[in-house]
Structure 1
Amino acid sequence: MKKENYRQVGSMPSKTSASALESAFRMLTQRDHTRKELAVKLRQKGFDHTTIERALARCRELGYLDDAKTAAMIAGHLAERGYGPLRVRQTLGQKGLDDDLIEQALARCGDEEAQVLSARCLLEKKASRLNREADPWKRRQKAYRFLAGRGFVSGVINRAISDV
């Protein structure tokens, strides 16, 4: 006796708004996401544009999705870890935030004086490595490259390495 095939046409489970919202909630419980990041992840899960927009709108309504708060949090975290404004700007741009939100978040990096202090603290932690270089000019170049790689602007770097 033949088994009947119960497979229906289009038997793929439908991607509903409820499941999109549930996926969005699950992602947002793990960490804060920007609107763009969340949209990309939902798209990768197979949700259509309309469903994604509805889920994002609901997350914003509930206060779970806030790009300004996320930008400020990321900028603050990076600044605390010793990254300069150029690196913070790059990271926030990669997360799909617009320029206005990025500029607001850059205030978390502090003014130039705070950045110089942060850069000097980084150099103090790196002092034993830097002091291995006998040539003062090369030591200064290494310090400059290190701070530039961390995202500090040249004016801040020059002030920070003035005594290296």
Structure 2
Amino acid sequence: MVDRAVARCVELGLVDDAAYAEMRVTSLRRRGRSSRKIRATLSAKGVEASVLDAAMQKDDGSDLAAAIIHARRRRIGPWRTKPADENTRSREIASICRAGFSYGIARRVVEANSPEDLASAD
């Protein structure tokens, strides 16, 4: 019975993995998620690799822009409220890397002197 209902929904076009993947990629990118994190999230939801690849190709966001959003939300890098020593910077870089961003992007965000420096780099 459930299989027939699912088949009927697919037949009517109510189930569209490609549209779902595109919507989620856009949504997660706006929230500051990395490409790696987006891929892992959608793979865990059962989106096929080919559909996921197509959705990621259509995405116009960059990992740097997403890392900037992530840093602003976490108040790290140029958005920190207190001066940072080397240990703090290392922890901030590790935080961004754990979110799925590359070391180069993490370091660039953390070492920026102001948000404007990052805006001009993006």
Whether 2:24 is the aligned partner of 1:74: answer yes
Q: What is the alpha-carbon distance in structure 2 between the residues aligned to residue 155 and residue 110 of structure 1? A: 20
Which one-letter code corresponds to 1:82 in the other structure?
G
Q: What is the alpha-carbon distance in structure 1 between the residues aligned to residue 66 and residue 10 of structure 2? A: 35
- Aligned residue pair count: 111
Which one-letter code corresponds to 2:7 in the other structure?
A
Match of 1:139 among 73, 77, 88: 88
Q: What is the alpha-carbon distance in structure 2 between the residues aligned to residue 108 and residue 94 of structure 1? A: 20
Q: Give unmatched runs, 5+ long, in structure 1.
A: 1-16, 21-51
Aligned residue for 1:151, secondary structure, equals coil
Q: What is the alpha-carbon distance in structure 2 between the residues aligned to residue 59 and residue 129 of structure 1? A: 47
Which one-letter code corresponds to 1:117 in the other structure?
A
Which one-letter code corresponds to 1:70 in the other structure?
Y
Deviation at 1:131, TM superposition (A): 4.5
Q: Which has the higher contact order (CA 8 A, sep 6+)?
A: 2
Aligned residue for 2:68, secondary structure, equals helix
The 8 Å contact of residues 32 and 65 in structure 2, kept in 1 or not, is answered as: no
Deviation at 1:129, TM superposition (A): 7.7
The 8 Å contact of residues 82 and 122 in structure 1, kept in 2 or not, is answered as: yes
Aligned residue for 2:56, secondary structure, equals helix
Q: What is the alpha-carbon distance in structure 1 between the residues aligned to residue 102 and residue 92 of structure 2? A: 13
Q: What is the alpha-carbon distance in structure 2 between the residues aligned to residue 115 and residue 59 of structure 1? A: 35
In the superposition, the TM-score normalised over structure 1's length comes to 0.56
Deviation at 1:66, TM superposition (A): 0.7
Q: Residues 15-26 of structure 1: matches in 2 within 5 Å? A: 17=1, 20=2
In the superposition, the TM-score normalised over structure 2's length comes to 0.72
Which one-letter code corresponds to 2:72 in the other structure?
E
Aligned to 2:101: 152
Deviation at 1:159, TM superposition (A): 2.9
Whether 2:62 is the aligned partner of 1:117: answer no
Question: Percentage identity across aligned positions?
Answer: 27
Residues 108 and 148 from structure 1, CA distance in 2 versus in 1: closer, same or farther, beyond 3 angstroms? farther
Q: Give unmatched runs, 5+ long, in structure 2.
A: 114-122
Q: What is the alpha-carbon distance in structure 2 between the residues aligned to residue 157 and residue 85 of structure 1? A: 14
Q: What is the alpha-carbon distance in structure 1 between the residues aligned to residue 107 and residue 79 of structure 2? A: 19
Deviation at 1:103, TM superposition (A): 1.4
Q: What is the alpha-carbon distance in structure 1 between the residues aligned to residue 38 and residue 6 of structure 2? A: 25
Q: Which has the larger radius of gyration?
A: 1
